């Protein structure tokens, strides 16, 4: 009897292990997309930031840590469903809070890598908004719970211009992208798997926020560089993953915007007039229309040189 019971238990265990080892995409929740073997996108709802999960023989590599600590913990749950291995490396595509507040969920043990300037940007924000985490915790009981054990975790390693990382059987090519979104944007390319995480200079079906140091030529240069890597899958900073069409849509949008703003400048219109008059009805369905004035300003600067 005892032997029989043991055998039965072992059988059940073997079955559940086999199941855990081949977790199907639908078991991982609706926001997880399998892009290649062991490569997943964790897609933020309603344009919340995206993250990436890459399994390797030597542990897990994450690209960003989720939109906020609630999302970070969901991301961690997905990782645990996929593998018992630890998160070894976390690559930041940018230093903004909607990509980095949840670092404490993964580090330690994860080592965090970012482009030069990311740590300064994060520390600056901590100084400017010391109440940030308290306010976040007060926003909802679930957020308060998710923030349990919060620590500020800036990057451990910063690189300049380019970096190649090898973890297990995988390679990660990091490209610093100048002037596209934040002070320290990184595109992450997996050359064998042909997957690129573009960072937030590129978003899908959304108007981007163009800060004063962001330029349209820099965004177009970044799109060209990333398209030139010939990826099969493109995971933007925000919005649904897709193909290089996301880069092409970005190029078309800015070309039309610059054309319209250029025409208005030639007609002698002021920036204020242009802000009132220039519209992009072709893109009315894109999210975050309130950011459009910052797009006009960047196009005006490009056209006039001021």
> Which chain residues interact with Zn ion by CB under 5 A?
96, 200
Task: Identify the sign of the CA torsion 112, 114, 116, 121.
Answer: negative
Question: Long-range CB contacts (< 8 A, 24+ apart) of 49-53?
Answer: 49/98, 49/99, 49/200, 49/237, 49/238, 50/197, 50/235, 50/236, 50/237, 50/238, 50/239, 50/241, 51/75, 52/188, 52/195, 52/197, 52/235, 53/78, 53/79, 53/82
Decide whether 99 or 227 has the Cβ nearer to Zn ion: 99
Q: Closest approach of Cβ 185 to Zn ion, in Å?
A: 9
Q: How many CA atoms lie within 13 A of 179 on its CB side?
A: 11
Q: Closest approach of Cβ 255 to Zn ion, in Å?
A: 24
Q: Closest approach of Cβ 93 to Zn ion, in Å?
A: 9
Decide whether 212 or 305 has the Cβ nearer to Zn ion: 212
Q: Closest approach of Cβ 5 to Zn ion, in Å?
A: 56
Q: Closest approach of Cβ 209 to Zn ion, in Å?
A: 8
Q: Mutual orientation of helices 245-266 and 292-304 as an angle, nearest 10°?
A: 60
Beta bridge partners of 60: 55, 87
Decide whether 96 or 227 has the Cβ nearer to Zn ion: 96
* DSSP assigned state of 210: -
Residue nearest to Zn ion (CB): 96
Decide whether 107 or 200 has the Cβ nearer to Zn ion: 200
Tally the residues of the chain. 306
Q: Closest approach of Cβ 181 to Zn ion, in Å?
A: 6
Q: Where are the beta strands (DSSP E) in 50-169?
A: 51-56, 59-63, 87-91, 111-115, 157-159, 162-167
Decide whether 199 or 264 has the Cβ nearer to Zn ion: 199
Beta bridge partners of 36: 39
Decide whether 47 or 189 has the Cβ nearer to Zn ion: 47
Decide whether 74 or 96 has the Cβ nearer to Zn ion: 96
Decide whether 200 or 240 has the Cβ nearer to Zn ion: 200
Q: Where are the beta strands (DSSP E) in the chain?
A: 32-36, 39-42, 51-56, 59-63, 87-91, 111-115, 157-159, 162-167, 170-177, 185-190, 195-199, 233-236
């Amino acid at each position: 009897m005892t032997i029989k019971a043991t055998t039965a238990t072992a059988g059940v265990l073997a079955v559940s292990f086999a199941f855990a080892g081949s977790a199907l995409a639908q078991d991982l929740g609706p926001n997880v997309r399998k892009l290649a073997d062991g490569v997943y996108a964790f897609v933020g709802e309603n344009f919340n930031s995206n993250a990436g999960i890459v399994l390797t023989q030597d542990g897990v590599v994450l690209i960003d840590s989720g939109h906020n600590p609630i999302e970070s913990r969901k991301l961690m749950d997905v990782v645990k469903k996929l593998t018992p291995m630890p998160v070894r490396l976390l690559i930041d595509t940018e230093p903004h809070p909607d990509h980095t507040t949840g670092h404490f969920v993964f580090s330690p043990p994860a080592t965090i890598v970012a482009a030069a300037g990311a740590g300064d940007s994060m520390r600056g924000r901590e100084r400017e908004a010391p109440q940030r985490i308290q306010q976040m915790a007060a926003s909802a009981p679930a957020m308060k719970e998710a923030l349990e054990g919060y620590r500020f975790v800036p990057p451990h390693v910063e690189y300049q211009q380019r970096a190649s990382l090898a973890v297990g059987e995988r390679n990660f090519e990091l490209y610093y992208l100048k002037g596209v979104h934040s002070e320290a944007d990184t595109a992450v390319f997996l050359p064998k798997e042909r997957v690129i995480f573009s960072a937030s200079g590129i978003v899908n079906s959304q108007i981007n926020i163009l800060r004063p140091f962001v330029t349209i030529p820099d965004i177009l240069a970044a799109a060209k560089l990333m398209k030139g890597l010939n990826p099969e899958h493109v995971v933007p900073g925000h919005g649904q993953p897709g193909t290089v069409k996301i880069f092409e849509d970005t190029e078309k949008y800015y070309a039309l915007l610059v054309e319209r703003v250029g025409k208005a400048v030639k007609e002698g219109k002021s920036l204020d007039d242009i802000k009132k008059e220039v519209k992009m009805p072709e893109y009315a369905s894109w999210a975050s229309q309130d950011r459009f004035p910052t797009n006009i300003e960047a196009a005006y600067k490009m056209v006039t040189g001021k």
